[in-house]
Amino acid sequence: MLIQQRTVPTTPGLSGLDPLLARLYAARHIDDRAQLDLATSAMLPPSGLQGIDQAVDLLWALLQQQARILVVSDFDADGATSCALALRALKSMGFQSVDYIVPDRFTYGYGLSPAIVAMAHTRQPDLIITVDNGISSHEGVLAARELGIKVLITDHHLPSAELPEADAIVNPNQSNCRFASKALAGVGVVFYLMLALRAHLRLQGWFETQQVPEPKLADLLDLVALGTVADLVPLDQNNRILVNEGLRRIRQGRACPGILALLEVGRRSPASLVASDLGFTVGPRLNAAGRLEDMSLGIACLLADDANLARDLAVRLDSINEERKRIESEMKTQALHVLEAMQANLLPFASGDLAQLPAGLCLYDATWHQGVVGIVAARVKELYYRPVIVFADANTDGQPGTEIKGSARSVTGLHIRDVLDEIASQNPGLINKFGGHAMAAGLSLERERLPEFKQAFERAVSRHLDESMLQKRLLTDGELPVQALSINTARLIRDAGPWGQGFPEPLFEGIFDCLSVRVLGNKHLKFVVSPPGQKLAIDAIMFNVSAEKMDVAHNSRVRLVYKMDINDYRGQQMLQLMVEYFESV
């Protein structure tokens, strides 16, 4: 583990701020206080999104005809929130026939495929709206057009050189799109489309003539915040505005019953909610339905207006998430055994005492569940800090075929989708389908070609990464003076967010005397620590600690890398350090 301090440039534009906050913001490339403005008035206007006018015109024309709308959702939290937002917004603006489908990921896979279009056709829609998918669905769009179904694509994934021949496309990552924030999540794209549609309907006098109350779309920002945080898109200023406003509403109890119910089963108080609670508590319970069963359950939870129904659905989602964690744990254990065997096989050829794993890892087992391969890939990547692809059989109608599906996770410095694109270009026919982002991607290929793909993947990763880039680094914000180790500092940092992907929560380091250590649940460590020479006792906790680290924890002096947190126990608030890493000194 390499611990480094973040570079802090000189930023005159942050003068007048609290010195600690000014340093933290500067290290996150903020150089002007205007970049900290989280008022909704500072949001980028919808007009910057390419294709949004065509999309609004299409929806306006269909609204006047009261056409049938069918939303085709993705099966993760971003897709679920996008779908729920689209249905709530469209119905509030007067659309009378709006429905949705979520493709079974195990039968149909990702995106608007011809098979999905055939299933959608049974609902006889006039328009299909894709949310959080569709930008690579060329064949599916063509199939829809042949059936006389119009298609509106809303997506945020990276497009290929040629776009599908849809009736309208809204995606900030289109090559000619002027929208300054390329980091919008799928739910953010849908929210912007609904803002533009409402503005158009207002100009047309629709709400007055139809006696339809003009909807308050800001009331849907709880969904935007959840989908944005759960999808791990970078929190640039525009996304921080969206998340901040959503969090503010949730804290005030102004969230949809489904989100409040998911917080309840996750034992999180809405009043003290922070962005990470959405990512670690609500998002996984919502995603579990799409990973193991049917994301329709998650969408139903977000659409429920009755608190009792929402809670029943949330309890079911929580149960599915527990099953997901069990499967994930078993798969991770098996994957680590594979890696240990790989190291043992390499040992005779290693130049040092320990064998070096390949720069890029590909793991596959016929017994693995394709719904959790992404999570396992993320866990293995964190452990070995190198790009990882975990494959499982692609089951069709409950039966394994000849195809396998993989989920990839990358490390800083390697754009994983570009690597897959490079492999596909240099090895025509090797990859059946692929898509994704810089840090995460999905793909499918024939099982018999996995050895060939492994070699191509290892070669491609080796071309782009050197050994120094495969060492895990913790970037910290340095040490805090003793007087800053207080609950007031924790509150200051909490209120300076929202923190998240691309705008990381402050991480500090320091030397502490370990006054006591105890093990919780056989895998967590609870410390009481004190700065050397100080009469100050501070609680600290670290989750999911390995057995080897358990022994180190009993040393009298340790170096901690930690985040500031507020532990609210029975109404009493206390400072607590959330330990990310520790070592004896």
Break the chain into its structural domains and give their ranges.
Answer: 49-317, 357-471, 475-584
Among 303-307, 412-416, 458-462, 533-537, name the most confident range: 303-307
Name the pLDDT band for 580 (thresholds 50, 70, 90): very high
Residue 174: pLDDT band with limits 50, 70, 90: very high
pLDDT of residue 553: 60
CA dihedral angle for residue 307, residue 309, residue 313, residue 319, rounded to 10 degrees: 90
Q: How far from chain centre, in Å, is Cα 26?
A: 25
Q: State the distance between the two ends of the chain, measured CA to CA, in whole angstroms.
A: 15
For 413, left (φ over 0), alpha (ψ -120 to 50), or beta?
left
Q: How far is CA 346 from CA 339, 340, 539, in A?
A: 11, 10, 43
Which pLDDT value is given to residue 497? Answer: 93
Instruction: Report whether 506 contacts 558 (CB < 8 A).
Output: no
Which class in CATH covers the domain with range 49-317? alpha beta
The answer to whether 357-471 and 475-584 have equal CATH topology is no
Q: How confident is the model over 478-484, as a mean pLDDT?
A: 96
pLDDT at 439: 85
Which secondary structure element, helix H or strand E, spans residue 86, and what is its range?
helix 77-92
The pTM of the full predicted model, rounded to 2 decimals, is 0.89
Classify domain 357-471 at the CATH topology level. Diaminopimelate Epimerase; Chain A, domain 1 (3.10.310)
**What pLDDT is recorded for position 552?**
65
pLDDT of 339 over the 90 cut? no
Q: Selecting from 3.30.420.40, 2.40.50.460, 3.40.190.80, 3.40.47.10, what CATH number does the domain 475-584 have?
A: 2.40.50.460
Residue 476 has a pLDDT of 97
